[in-house]
Every structure is written in structure tokens, then in C-alpha cells.
């Protein structure tokens, strides 16, 4: 007899209504940035995630230069009703120009990008389509207007924005309902708390915190691991040798809090996010990225873990000591 699966709780996606599991899966690392991937392990991760009620799967057209969307294609087609597929456009890097990190929000570019993503995943509709980064040269009325047209045409189900400020979020929302805002938010990256989260909360937009584990820093593993040569974190200020040594001392204190609660460091990081989101009255679906089934189970378990006011205060104090910017 198989034991019953404990599914994660759900919430309704802002300005949309679809029931989404309160933790999603960040798929970026499967194809790029965090060293080599064992594909068999990842397949087990995706199967288990679906079994446990994860339905938000996060990719982008530029992850692996299209490979990440292609990798997800058979899964999305097989489990179409169980996978709420979220992808992004905006970075123009291609296999021909992998180092071109320009941003394009023009209507004609958006139309080309959406068709390419649909084709790569071999689906008719992208459930949530994010503008990955804002190009201020293109008025939001043009880019959001085009996304609104794509909703009417049935090519996308909902509109999302990534890493915009509160004013941009407000302006975009006046053109078309925005369902999700994806921005970096973790115990160690708290910039959006002041000006962005209150706007998202007011407008009923779901927050999708990316890099909720500080790109692996807020775990028991990364600091003790030698990063692969092509790991993108070599270029991030928090991971330089000097900063990493200082940050390891802070992470060790987070780990001590975790141990006292019989939790892992990653679980404390995620429980901090869920607790802080409740405090700020914002609905949030963090999307930790992992290619490992045990870690997935560990991260999902954190969806029902809470921290006390004192533990939150202790963690907030530690967060202030982090060295180096996130990117
Ligand atoms: N909108 C944007 O601009 C943007 C930017 C960055 C990322 N994202 C999205 O957000 C997702 C998540 O962000 P992220 O992947 O950069 O960072 P993250 O989720 O903060 O951390 C991922 C790293 O943590 C490790 N990890 C995960 N769970 C762990 C655990 N329980 N114990 C130990 N290590 C653990 C992973 O390694 P393993 O894989 O080896 O387990 C990986 O190295 C991405 O996949 C992507 O979809 C969006």
C-alpha cells in the first residue's frame, strides 16, 4: 500500500483565481548557471513535485538559451492540467549571441518571443507570462498593451512582471490586471519590502519570491561545496572569497537557529519568507530551485513551518550583516 501524499496548501493567484500550490519549483538551475545537472535526478524531482501539489513551474526563454523550456515540454504536455507553466521574455540572448544581455520590450519582439516559447514547449497557451526585465525606453502602455492582447488571443493566461518598482507595478496594473510579481526576496535580500510589497498587496498581486534561498547561500550546502568552474555564482559579490568567508559566519548562526528547531537552514529561510509574507499581508509563492528530490521534500515541508517573533527578530538582525550585494 502506498502512503497518502501530503499535498502542500494552495492559494488563489492574484487577479486570476487559479489555485496554486504555495511553493513552486524554480527550473533555471536545471539548464544553466549552477553547475552540471543529473537529468535523472531532475526527472524524479518533477514527478515528486507534481505528486505533492506543486503546480507552479518557473522557467524563462533565456534559461539555457531555450533549453529549459524545451526540457519542460514533454512534462507540460503530459501533465498539462497539473502544471501551471510560467515563462518570461525580455532578455535577448540567443544561442548565436549568448552574452547579449540586452532587454527588449517592444510589441513586435514580445510577439516573436511568445511564439518561440509556445513552440519550444509545444503548448497552445502559457499560463503566466512575465516581462523578465523592464526596458524603460518602451512605454508600459505598449508592452502591457501587447500582453493584454495576447490574453485575449489565448496565447497567455495571465500577465506577470519581474523586478519592477512599485510605480511601474501601479502603472502596469492600470493597463491590465497583473497576476504575479516575481522579484528577489529572501532573508538576505529585502529591498522590495519598503516600496514594492505594499503596492503588490494593495493591488491583490501575488508575490513570487525568486532566489528564496539566496542562490544556495541560505542552506547547509553551498558554502562547503566547491562551485563548478562554470557556476555563475563565481561572479556574484556575495560569493567572492572574502565575502563568502564573512557570510559563512552569518549562515552558521542561521543554521544554529535551525538546529535548535530541528529544521534545516533552507527550511528556516523559507519559513522566514512565509512568516514575513503573512506579516506584510501579501500572498506569496516562493520558487526555490533544486535538482535534488530530498531537498525538494525538505523545502516543501517548510511551507507549514512557522517561526516565533523572537526567532524572526534574531534572523532579521543577522540579515543586516550580510556582505556583498546579491548580484
Ligand atoms: N525573475 C528573475 O530575474 C529570476 C532570477 C533568478 C532566478 N529566478 C527563478 O527563481 C528560481 C529560484 O532561484 P535560484 O535557483 O536562483 O536560487 P535559490 O532557489 O535561492 O537557490 C538555488 C540553489 O540552492 C540549492 N538548494 C535548493 N534547495 C536546497 C536545500 N534544501 N538544501 C541545500 N541546497 C539547496 C540548489 O542546488 P541544487 O539544485 O543542486 O539542489 C541551488 O544551488 C530559479 O530557478 C528561477 O526559476 C528568477
Q: Whose CA is nearest to atom 11 of ligand 1?
A: 26
Buried-state track 149-170, b at ≥16 Cβ within 10 A, e below 16: ebbeeebbbbbbbbbbebebbe
pLDDT in tens, 58-80: 999 999 999 999 999 999 999 99
Active site residue 63: yes
C-alpha–C-alpha distance, residues 292 and 315, integer Å: 26
The 10 Å Cβ neighbour count of residue 24 is 25
Tell me how far the alpha carbon of residue 141 lies from the centroid of ligand 1, in angstroms.
Answer: 32
Nearest CA to ligand 1 atom 27: 290
194, 272 Cβ separation under 8 angstroms: no
- Residue 291 and residue 30 in contact, taking contact as beta carbons nearer than 8 Å: yes
List, for residues 139-184, the tens digit of each pLDDT value. 999 999 999 999 999 999 999 999 999 999 999 999 999 999 999 9
Counting ligand 1 atoms within 8 A of each CB, the residue from 216, 265, 267, 287 with the most, and so the one to mutate, is 216
Ligand 1 center to 203 CA (angstroms): 27
Confidence of residue 220 (pLDDT cuts 50, 70, 90): confident
Query: Please, which pLDDT band fits residue 5 given cuts at 50, 70 and 90?
Result: confident
Whether 175 and 146 have beta carbons less than 8 Å apart is answered as: no
CB contact set of 290 (below 8 Å; sequence gap of 6+): 25, 26, 29, 45, 296, 299
pLDDT in tens, 290-303: 999 999 999 999 99
- pLDDT band, residue 119 (cuts 50/70/90): very high
Q: Residues enclosing ligand 1, CB less than 6 A?
A: 26-29, 34, 58, 132, 162-163, 182, 210-216, 219-221, 266, 287-292, 295, 298-299
pLDDT tier for residue 125 given thresholds of 50, 70 and 90: very high
Q: Domains plus CATH for the chain?
A: 10-214+273-306 (3.20.20.100)
pLDDT score, position 3: 53
Amino acid at each position: 500500500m502506498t502512503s497518502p501524499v501530503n499535498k502542500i496548501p494552495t492559494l488563489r493567484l492574484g487577479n486570476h483565481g487559479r489555485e496554486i500550490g504555495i511553493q513552486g519549483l524554480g527550473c533555471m538551475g536545471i539548464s544553466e548557471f549552477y553547475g552540471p545537472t543529473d537529468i535523472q535526478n531532475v526527472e524524479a524531482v518533477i514527478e515528486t513535485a507534481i505528486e505533492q501539489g506543486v503546480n507552479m513551474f518557473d522557467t524563462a526563454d533565456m534559461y539555457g538559451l531555450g533549453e529549459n523550456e524545451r526540457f519542460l515540454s514533454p512534462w507540460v504536455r503530459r501533465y498539462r492540467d497539473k502544471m501551471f507553466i510560467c515563462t518570461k521574455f525580455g532578455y535577448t540572448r540567443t544561442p548565436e549571441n549568448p552574452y547579449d544581455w540586452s532587454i527588449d520590450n517592444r510589441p513586435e519582439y514580445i510577439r516573436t518571443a511568445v511564439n518561440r516559447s509556445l513552440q519550444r514547449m509545444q503548448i497552445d497557451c502559457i499560463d503566466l507570462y512575465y516581462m523578465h526585465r523592464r526596458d524603460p525606453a518602451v512605454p508600459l502602455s505598449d508592452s502591457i498593451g501587447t500582453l493584454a492582447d495576447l490574453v485575449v488571443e489565448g496565447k497567455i493566461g495571465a500577465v506577470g512582471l519581474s523586478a519592477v518598482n512599485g510605480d511601474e507595478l501601479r502603472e502596469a496594473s492600470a493597463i491590465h490586471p497583473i497576476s504575479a510579481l516575481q522579484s528577489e526576496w529572501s532573508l538576505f535580500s529585502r529591498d522590495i519590502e519598503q516600496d514594492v510589497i505594499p503596492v503588490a498587496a494593495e493591488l491583490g498581486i501575488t508575490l513570487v519570491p525568486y532566489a528564496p534561498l539566496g542562490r544556495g547561500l541560505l542552506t547547509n550546502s553551498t558554502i562547503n561545496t566547491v562551485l563548478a568552474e562554470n557556476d555563475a555564482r563565481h561572479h556574484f559579490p556575495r560569493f567572492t572569497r572574502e565575502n563568502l568567508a564573512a557570510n559563512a559566519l552569518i549562515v552558521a548562526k542561521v543554521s544554529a537557529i535551525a538546529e535548535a528547531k530541528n529544521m534545516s537552514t533552507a527550511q528556516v529561510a523559507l519559513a522566514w519568507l512565509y512568516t514575513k509574507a503573512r506579516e506584510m499581508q501579501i500572498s506569496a509563492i516562493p520558487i526555490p530551485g533544486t535538482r535534488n528530490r530530498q531537498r525538494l521534500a525538505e523545502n516543501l515541508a517548510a511551507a507549514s513551518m512557522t517561526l516565533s517573533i523572537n526567532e524572526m527578530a534574531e534572523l532579521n538582525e543577522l540579515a543586516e550583516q550580510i556582505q556583498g550585494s546579491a548580484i
